[in-house]
Structure 1
Amino acid sequence: MKVKRRTVWLLTLLSLAAVISVYYVFEPNRNVDLMTIFTDDTLEETTLTNADEKLTTPTVSESHLFEDLRMEIANERSQLREQLEQKIASSEYSAEEKNEAYNQMNELIKRESAEAMLEMLIENLGYSDALVHVKDDKVQVTVLSDEISKAQASEIIYVVRQQIDDIQDVTVSVQSNYY
């Protein structure tokens, strides 16, 4: 019986989630009232010492650019998914057209999951963030790093080709930590 790595990974993740949920369900009662965090008494009792407004700096995600790009891609795919769902539900289209729309939706789901898996695998290689975009038969990988060597780029390409079959064009680019 040949089991793919993804299947093993998914089953491991599901078992871990089940174990954690069972732990929290059967955990002894904690004597913590979580609503006490949200009372006005806490705010009145809090005092700032040696706080200077000039020294405070806002915290921003290192990869806010990646998050923006992910949102754009998600919006585009959401619109495409809606169109395909309407096509499948409509009585105006033939069975062949509905079947084609259904297949396109399945491909879209596979592409999204492959991108998420690749982003996680590339981050496990030591990068703080990665953005993977699969379009047609091309894969665009952007990593958040100051610079990468040819060996590191080759390693990323190897990971991509291991996860996605029939991909010939893999592009690796670098986004600096300081934009």
Structure 2
Amino acid sequence: MRVKKKAVWFLTLLSLAAVISVYYLSNPVTPFNGLAIFSDNSLKDTKISELASKTSKTTPVTTESHLFEEMRMELQNERSQLKETLTQKVASSQYSADEKNKYFDEIDAITKNESNEAMLEMLIRTLGYSDAFVRAEDDQIRVTVQANELSKEKANEIVYMVKKEFNEGKVVVDFQSETIN
């Protein structure tokens, strides 16, 4: 008995929709109500100190994680431009099939690299660092973590984690200070 591909896809999507429906019905999501935080009167008795009320000078508090965000954005822009160029080459008729396959493989490698970097950043944050930036290029993987100091044991732990994810390449671990500007 031969089943048509459309019927198989339809049944697959239908079963997926049923599973998702059951999940959401069994685990109701309560929406976040930001005003509920302030609904109790616990802040009513809070007083600002006289010193703070006399001085009108305000100091912005920023951390260097903005630097990490800027580095991520720059890297993402570079890679998206490279992907766009490669996509145009794949769509072009002036390249052979082998060249198009090579360009497509490069796009795939960039995408895999990006996902591995993001996963490593998340794993490094679970080690207790407030932020991390991972950049893998050529034969070098550079990891920058936000910490006051970085012990050799912690650096080795990061190197081990990176080596598990990226099997090849030289790993360099740096740290940025967590001090507030």
Verify same fold: TM over 0.5: yes
Q: Residues 105 and 20 from structure 1, CA distance in 2 versus in 1: closer, same or farther, beyond 3 angstroms?
A: farther
- Say whether residues 1:64 and 2:66 are aligned partners: yes
**What is the aligned-residue RMSD (CA, Å)?**
3.1
What letter matches 1:133 in structure 2?
R
Task: Count matched residues.
Answer: 145
Shift of 1:96: 1.1
- Say whether residues 1:119 and 2:89 are aligned partners: no
User: CA offsets, 1:62-119, max 9 Å, x none?
Assistant: 5000000001000000100100110111111111110110000010001000100100
Q: Which runs of 5+ in 2 are unaligned?
A: 1-19, 35-46
What letter matches 2:104 in structure 1?
Y
User: CA offsets, 1:7-63, max 9 Å, x none?
Assistant: xxxxxxxxxxx58971599669x9x9x9xxxxxxxxxxxxxx979582655454550
Q: Which has the higher contact order (CA 8 A, sep 6+)?
A: 2
Aligned 1:18-97 pairs, distance under 5 A: 22-23=24-25, 54=56, 56-60=58-62, 62-97=64-99
Shift of 1:170: 0.2
Q: Measure, in 2, the Cα distance between the counterparts of 1:137 and 1:165.
A: 11
Q: Residues 144 and 24 from structure 1, CA distance in 2 versus in 1: closer, same or farther, beyond 3 angstroms?
A: farther
Residue aligning to 1:175: 176
Q: Measure, in 2, the Cα distance between the counterparts of 1:21 and 1:54.
A: 52
Identity %: 47
Based on CA coordinates, which of the two structures has the bigger radius of gyration? 2
The two structures have a TM-score, normalised by structure 1, of 0.70
The two structures have a TM-score, normalised by structure 2, of 0.69
